[in-house]
Amino acid sequence: MQTDGRDHEALIADLVKRERISDETARLIFSPAFDEFRARLYEAADKVRLETVGDEVFIRGIIEFSNYCGCQCDYCGISSHNRELDRYRMDFDDILETASHAYGLGFRSLVLQSGEDRSYRASDICHIIEAIKGRLGMAVTLSIGEWPKADYAAFRAAGADRYLLRIETSSQALFERYHRDSKWYDRHKALMDLKELGYQVGSGILVGLPGQDGPGLLRDLEYLERLRPEMVGIGPFIPHPKTPLGNQPAGLIEHCLTFLALLRLYLPDSYLPATTAMGTLAPQGRQMALRAGANVIMPNVSPLSNRPGYQIYPDKIGQSDDAETCQRCIEDLVLALGRKPNLGFGHIKRKIY
Ligand code: 5AD
């Protein structure tokens, strides 16, 4: 593969062919020297997106049902480090009411997300899943962190379809620097468990964590290629003032879009969200993501009263938009790009293995 940085067209052609990327090339791709060629890379990824997953954009409603968290992640605004945060937790009835409201708006795919709130027992989570599946028949994605394999099995038996758990970084050293209370291998093992249990698995990374470099991002891409998750969600690191990484610079939107485009090229049939963090970092961030390989978007359908408490990073967009407004603005955003919004189950067409 071209590595001297002179013939960028040839380099992009190699990326489209999924040639192995060298560390030197990764350094180039994630350096300012590549900036004038990024648009070409995004365009190539957009073409592959059209050929593999088509023009639909899958819309999933997120319910952030608790911001209690037992973890101490150095970048995260709802980590238990943050003692100034008002904590909330929705009970069964609140969650079901929110899910029914989303159903009424046309959503058929829900993501239930929370901090690692250990006050819910596995049976409580199962009860919620069973009610949403049984009464509303919606597709259910969980995003509730690391649990024992037996609990993942119980959630799956209760009807959960998908599970989102980012590896955050494929580097054990970087992971354990920023998660002093947890181990990289446990995160990896949890992903293996989820795959084995037949979930559609979503993973992903943070782009721009202090200490990350081009070759590190290449290792992340290689890790994700091996894991072959059905979905990959990535976002820029955004410093939160109430966290140990509060004074560090944010990740760059162009590095996020570049990593997203590479994901589309190297995992061509995966589902890739245009994440809220990208929209927060850059005003057109989600639109840019949808034109650089993304095909999923996840508006917030949580009750408005929860929003201030779920600032994983500051200035998160959509704070004052209720579910209906979020839905409308997301559908308009998708239509304005000439794409087709799809509120359905959004199951990936690939065979799960
Ligand atoms: N900036 C961007 N993303 C963050 N996340 C947590 N904290 C931040 C931050 N400061 C992401 C993590 C986690 C997801 C739910 O939110 O990647 O997996």
Residue 348 falls within a domain, yes or no?
no
Tell me the CA–centroid distance for residue 281 and ligand 1, in Å.
13
Residue 29 falls within a domain, yes or no?
yes
Residue 195 falls within a domain, yes or no?
yes
Read off the pTM: 0.96
What are 72-89's pLDDT values in tens digits? 999 999 999 899 999 999
Instruction: Provide the domain count of the chain.
Output: 1
Which atom from ligand 1 is nearest to the alpha carbon of 313?
Answer: 10
For a mutational test of ligand 1's pocket, the pick from 75, 245, 247, i.e. the residue with the most ligand atoms closer than 8 A to its C-beta, is 75
Integer Cα distance of 158 and 134 in angstroms: 10
Residue 300 falls within a domain, yes or no?
yes
144, 114 contact by CB (below 8 A): yes
64, 276 contact by CB (below 8 A): no
Residue 270 falls within a domain, yes or no?
yes
Segments in the chain forming alpha helices (H): 8-16, 23-29, 38-52, 92-105, 122-131, 149-158, 172-178, 184-196, 214-227, 253-266, 276-281, 285-290, 323-336
Ligand 1 neighbours, Cβ below 6 Å, are 75-76, 166, 168, 206, 235, 237-238, 240, 277, 312-313
Tell whether the model's pLDDT for residue 213 goes beyond 60: yes
* Side chain identity, residue 35: D
Integer Cα distance of 250 and 351 in angstroms: 37
89, 324 contact by CB (below 8 A): no
Q: Tell me the three-class secondary structure of 147-171, residue by residue.
A: CCHHHHHHHHHHCCCEEECCCECCC
Give the pLDDT mean for 167-180. 98
Tell whether the model's pLDDT for residue 6 goes beyond 70: no
* Side chain identity, residue 2: Q
Integer Cα distance of 128 and 124 in angstroms: 6
Integer Cα distance of 40 and 38 in angstroms: 5
Closest CA to 259 of 300, 299, 209, 298: 209
Which atom from ligand 1 is nearest to the alpha carbon of 164?
Answer: 18
Residue 232 falls within a domain, yes or no?
yes
Integer Cα distance of 270 and 53 in angstroms: 8
CATH number of the domain enclosing 199: 3.20.20.70
Which atom from ligand 1 is nearest to the alpha carbon of 205?
Answer: 17
* Side chain identity, residue 221: L
Residue 78 falls within a domain, yes or no?
yes
The pair of structure tokens assigned to 249 is: 């610079």
Residue 351 falls within a domain, yes or no?
no
Angle, vertex CA 312, rays to CA 308 and CA 313, nearest 5:
95
Q: What is the pLDDT of residue 33?
A: 93
What are 9-18's pLDDT values in tens digits? 899 999 999 9
Integer Cα distance of 206 and 260 in angstroms: 11
Taking CA atoms only, the protein residue closest to ligand 1 atom 2 is 237
Tell whether the model's pLDDT for residue 353 goes beyond 70: no
* Side chain identity, residue 94: D
The length of the chain, given as a count of residues: 353
Angle, vertex CA 37, rays to CA 12 and CA 2, nearest 5:
40
- The total of other beta-carbon atoms located within 10 Å of residue 27's CB is 18
Tell me the CA–centroid distance for residue 240 and ligand 1, in Å.
10
What are 102-128's pLDDT values in tens digits? 999 999 999 999 999 999 999 999 999
Which atom from ligand 1 is nearest to the alpha carbon of 76?
Answer: 7
Quote the domain boundaries for residue 228: 5-342
271, 231 contact by CB (below 8 A): yes
Q: What is the pLDDT of residue 2?
A: 47
Q: Tokens 């291998």 label which residue?
A: 185
| Sheet (strand 296-297) strand order | 296-297, 56-59, 340-342
Give the pLDDT mean for 153-159. 98
Distances (CA, A) of 202 to 54, 75, 123: 19, 20, 23
Which atom from ligand 1 is nearest to the alpha carbon of 168?
Answer: 17
What are 278-293's pLDDT values in tens digits? 999 999 999 999 999 9
